[in-house]
Amino acid sequence: MKLRFIKGVLNLNAIIINHGVVPELVAERTTKIVSDLLPEQDDFNFSRYDLLETPIQNIIEDAMTIPFLSEQKVIVVKNSYLFTGEKPRVAVEHQLDALAQFVEQFTGPNVVIFEVNSDKLDERKKIVKNMKKLHQVNKIDALDEMALKKWVKQEMNNQFKDIKQDALDELIQLTGADYKLVSNEMHKLLLYLGDDSIITKSHVEMIVSRSLEQNVFLLTDYITTHRKKEAIVLLKDLISMKEEPIKLLALISGQYRLFYQTKILSQKGFSEAQIAKQLKIHPYRVKLALRKVSRLNLSDILKVIDSCAKTDYQLKSSYMDKVLILELFILGI
């Protein structure tokens, strides 16, 4: 595919990459840029594509068409995995040479925004190096616990509502500080609240569902504190919610691996933020893990991890009832 570009002054904002681990935050940044570039809705000069469905060469051709009665058109491209090391199975064929030429030579006036749902781009790729040199790359970090709480309070204030501090703490705990879950549960709370102006802890306890991650954390808490009756009850609740035993065991095993890693790094003097960066996980998960591992021995954690491995083999090879195998695992720890 041979591209012909109109020579002009290099527009550093002609191509933009927005990337981060929270797709909703990435999309929010994109929406803000689009609204700044196109203050009014303009269906003639706005396009949205998905690289899992549309060849990049088609998108480039659209980017090179003249805007209709406007200074520029804006094109948003979702799932832009070509800037990462990912290799998903897709039915479309992308002409990577065309993308490389596009990044090197495109000067506008149109603006193309690539959304990448990844914390890192593949720095080894020439197109990534050229993007950083010639255009704009925005990394959108996940909100930490403090920033997330500030965001919730601001959203509440925008609706002329307020949330008590203990209610806010409970909301963050039940959702595991997951931005999407917090957003969804917050909107449920606002609908439930109606004309009332203040969200209390009782409202949160009544309306907000505990995330699967938090349920598994609670399950591991019951296991490590030898509250096996509560652990079995919670396990049966999760099974009744159609959670698969193999998946639950994998999550429990992952939680204990996190306990082991945070314990080791903490003993080496790593701070909470440093551990989160080292393990590439949300700081809130590290905060909860550190609270737990202060009362656990490394040898005990390793015994549980070993038991998880043996139980995993049983689940995949035994003809026994899988729920029973998981119950025996919990009772045997």
Task: Give tens-digit pLDDT for 279-314.
Answer: 888 888 898 899 889 888 899 999 999 999 999 999
Q: What's the pLDDT band for 7 if we cut at 50, 70, 90? A: very low
pLDDT score, position 10 = 41
pLDDT score, position 75 = 93
Token readout for 93 is 């064929």
- For the whole model, what pTM was predicted? 0.72
SS3 readout for 11-73: CCCCEEEEECCCHHHHHHHHHHHHHHHCCCCCHHHEEEEECCCCCHHHHHHHHCCCCCCCCCC
pLDDT score, position 284 = 87
Q: What is the mean pLDDT of the chain?
A: 89
Residue 9 scores a pLDDT above 60: no
Q: What's the pLDDT band for 132 if we cut at 50, 70, 90? A: very high
Side-chain-side CA neighbours of 177 within 13 Å: the count stands at: 18
Cα of first residue to Cα of last residue in the chain, in angstroms, is 62
| pLDDT single digits (tens) 200-248 | 999 999 999 888 888 999 999 999 888 999 999 999 999 998 999 999 9
Q: Are 18 and 117 in contact (CB under 8 A)?
A: no
Sheet holding 136-139, edge to edge: 46-50, 74-78, 111-116, 15-19, 136-139
Residue 5 scores a pLDDT above 90: no
Q: Are 251 and 212 in contact (CB under 8 A)?
A: yes
Residue in the structure block whose two tokens are 């119950």: 327
Residue 253 scores a pLDDT above 90: yes
Q: Are 155 and 148 in contact (CB under 8 A)?
A: no
Domains and CATH numbers, the chain: 15-139 (3.40.50.300), 145-207 (1.10.8.60), 212-332 (1.20.272.10)
* Helix 96-105 with 56-63: angle, nearest 10 deg: 30
Which residues lie closer than 8 Å to 299 by C-beta, 6 or more apart?
Answer: none
pLDDT score, position 152 = 93
Higher pLDDT pick, 137 / 2 = 137
Q: In this structure, how many other beta carbons lie within 10 angstroms of the beta carbon of residue 296?
A: 16
